[in-house]
Amino acid sequence: MLAIVWVADIGAYFSGKAFGKHKLAPSISPGKSWEGVAGGWSAVMLIAAASTHVPALQDTFAVKLQAAWGWLGFVPALTLIVAASIAGDLFESQLKRRIGMKDSSNLLPGHGGVLDRIDALIPVLPLAVLFDYWLRCKT
């Protein structure tokens, strides 16, 4: 799950930098764009789908998800996870804006602080636990 969130974040960053023209939430996080959302989602779909063909990754979340729910369950579930990661990122950005803080700490200078490393995981991990429960019930 960590890898899925990180891939979404990295894909969104690079595609947003390269193609970002339409702001996602300018008053909350002016650097985020819809093109970044599409790039993050695309990166997750590509990497997660590719992981289903790698024998060493057969015990990962994405592979188990695809095996249990097929491609018709795989795509919406990962789309929901990507959306939750973006929502977590935006929520943390909004909290920082409300209190007038640029970084949540100085531990990781230039990275927005420690909360920026985990903000997307906060809403995703409970969702992943729920999906994992459903996957276990299905098998």
Check whether 111 has a pLDDT greater than 80: no
Q: What is the pLDDT of residue 130?
A: 92
DSSP string, 29-42: EEEEEHHHHHHHHH
Q: How confident is the model at residue 36 (pLDDT cuts 50, 70, 90)?
A: very high
- Over the stretch 64-83, which tens digit does the pLDDT of each residue have? 999 999 999 999 999 999 99
Rounded CA gap, 122 and 85, in Å? 8
pTM assigned to the model: 0.86
Rounded CA gap, 82 and 57, in Å? 20
